[in-house]
A and B are shown apart, each in its own frame.
Chain A
């Protein structure tokens, strides 16, 4: 069988402007878990929660939706719809001292640590792009639909250059 070469959804990364760096990020296999109405999936995260699960992470990814990152897809029988999303989303990391300043130009989300703490997730928009954000100790992991990969990089890099330009004044 042919050994297919995985291509990154977004080209030209990593890129650094001033004190912020945007880099491609591979979260491993991505599996969406959406419990059927009335069913309860053990270990399902509450809104904003990121839980350790089976060597990977179970990330709250929207209303009644979680993403299992970096672990094989579980067999949940008739508890939940389980779909492979590995190729459906593009993932980047935004790190550095100005990561928050950059993101503040793009999203209406309250980025203060008291409202959005490291180790939690949030759904928000990056300008008009629907996105999933996970805050880490180093910065942010940002996921958007793969079809919007170029726009995601364009929007974030534009904000990075603007923040860097103001810093340079």
Chain B
């Protein structure tokens, strides 16, 4: 498996660290209530198809959002997240 880092170009999967679902980016407001926080912390979709995850490119220290297809293993998009900081 290879991911194309927007900074470094196509690199082997061994250079990346998987973090989890891209849902982690959508942090609820502190007063959003128990249900919203429960969903944020514990509930994840497990789609057969397109999904978005967070990956870290260890060498260049970029956080990336990877859109991939869990059925075909196709990598559809890789986006750097630095601008969100």
| A interface residue numbers (CB < 8 A to B) | 47-48, 62-64, 108-110, 122-125, 130-131
Contact = CB atoms under 8 A, between A and B. Distances in A.
B8 A125 contact: no
Interface of B: 7-12, 14-15, 58-62, 80, 82
Contact of A63 (B12, B14, B61): B61
A62 B14 contact: no
A123 B14 contact: no
A125 B62 contact: no
B8 A123 contact: yes
12 contacts: A47-B7, A47-B9, A47-B60, A48-B8, A63-B61, A63-B62, A63-B80, A122-B8, A122-B59, A123-B59, A124-B15, A124-B59
Contacts of B10: 110
A63 B85 CA distance: 14
A122 B11 CA distance: 11
Given A63-B82, A108-B15, A125 B7 contact: no
* Chain B interface SS verdict (over half): mixed
Contacts of B80: 63
Nearest to A61: B60
Given A47-B7, A47-B8, A122-B8, A62 B60 contact: yes
A125 B58 contact: yes
Given A47-B7, A63-B62, A125 B82 contact: no
A48 B5 CA distance: 13
B31 to A, nearest CB: 29
